[in-house]
Amino acid sequence: MPRLIARGAGAETRIIGSKFRQVFRLQDLVIKLFPEARIVQIVRDPRDVAMSFHAFSWKNNPEEAEKTVPTLAHSVRRVFDFWPGTVGMIRNFGGPGREHLYHEIRYEDLKADALPVMTGVAEFLGADAAPGKIQAAIDAASFEKMSGGREAGREDEGSFFRKGVSGDWREKFDDDCHAAFEECADKELMREIGYID
């Protein structure tokens, strides 16, 4: 809570955003403090998550990455250690009877056509869904804006905003990555979300 207070959240605050999924490990406390909290989860194909995780690991701490994720296949396995549990934990936030307080979007749909996706999010949250305001928010958070003018698809391995595309795993997965996926993937959850048939 101190982080929220430091950023000026007060009694009139209606919407709070957090990138830290770990807060959902404190489900009972969050529900007690915010019993009608609406949750929006952005889900991303775990194969692309593995791509980003691998690049970020090597950029952030190459010595540790050499030990823990020396190959992309290692990162595929690591992602499936946490992705199903994290996604599932937020999907089931608060248990039965709270389904109406949960809204899920796929990163890939957001990339493909952001305006209807974000309009749906705004309406779910009870925020202003005027198209002009939604489009202004989309433009302000675009890959091009966040990366300093680089177009999505132009990779910069040194940047936190590395490439800004979906489906990059299709070009980069080798036989070991596919084998790791077959061994570790939570295919039932991926099928539910629409990532595999």
The per-residue pLDDT for 6 is: 47
Report the number of distinct structural domains present in the chain. 1
Q: How far is CA 55 from CA 75, 84, 96, 129, in A?
A: 9, 20, 37, 35
The per-residue pLDDT for 5 is: 46
The per-residue pLDDT for 1 is: 41
pLDDT in tens, 122-175: 999 999 999 999 999 999 988 787 767 667 666 666 656 666 678 999 999 999
Instruction: Kindly give the parts of the chain with pLDDT less than 50.
Output: 1-2, 4-6
Burial of 15 (0-12, 13-18, 19+ CB in 10 A): exposed
CATH code, domain carrying 57: 3.40.50.300
The per-residue pLDDT for 92 is: 84
CB 34, CB 156: distance < 8 Å: no
Q: What residues make up the domain containing 27?
A: 2-193
**3-state SS track over the chain:** CHHHHHCCCCCCCCCCCCCCHHHHHHHHHHHHHCCCCCEEEEECCHHHHHHHHHHHHHHHCHHHHHHHCCCHHHHHHHHHHHHHHHHHHHHCCCCCCCHHHEEEEEHHHHHHCHHHHHHHHHHHHCCCCCHHHHHHHHHHCCHHHHCCCCCCCCCCCCCCCCCCCCCCHHHHCCHHHHHHHHHHCCHHHHHHHCCCC
Contacts 24+ apart (CB under 8 A), 109-116: 110/42, 111/152, 111/165, 111/166, 112/166, 114/138
Whether pTM > 0.85 for this model: the answer is no
The per-residue pLDDT for 2 is: 42
CB 84, CB 190: distance < 8 Å: no
The per-residue pLDDT for 27 is: 76
